[in-house]
Amino acid sequence: MSSSNREAVEYDATIFHSDKAVGPIRLPMKHSSSFVEQFNRIYGHRHYRLVGRPKVAPESERSRLWPSSAAQTD
């Protein structure tokens, strides 16, 4: 059982120890970038690092930004 009161969704970041991924983590809903910065500052000397996942645009946004080659005409 998870201690989070939020629904299960994909992870927000990955914890690394000595450059090896050791697990996924959920970030706070507010001020997540400052959380990552503080985590890395506090635990970095113990060789822990928190790396956020890149945000992926929804399919409709991706198709608008990067139309497929089939939709392009010469």
Question: Which two structure tokens, joined as six digits, stand for 7?
Answer: 């629904």
Q: Would residue 8 count as lying in a domain? A: no
Of residues 61 and 53, the one with the higher pLDDT is 53
**73 assigned to some structural domain:** no
- Say if 59 falls within a structural domain: yes
pLDDT at 64 over 70: no
Tell me if 54 is assigned to some domain.
Answer: yes
Q: Is residue 34 part of a domain?
A: yes
72 is a domain residue: no
**Position 60 in a domain:** yes
Given CA atoms 48, 16, 28, 5 in this order, what sign does their dihedral have? negative
**E strands, 1-74, where?**
13-17, 20-25, 48-52
Q: Binning pLDDT at 50, 70 and 90, where does residue 53 land?
A: confident
Question: Predicted confidence band at 74 (pLDDT cuts at 50, 70, 90)?
Answer: very low
Mean pLDDT of 30-54: 92
Structural domain boundaries enclosing 60: 13-64
| Entry field: residues in the chain | 74
Query: Does residue 7 form part of some domain?
Result: no
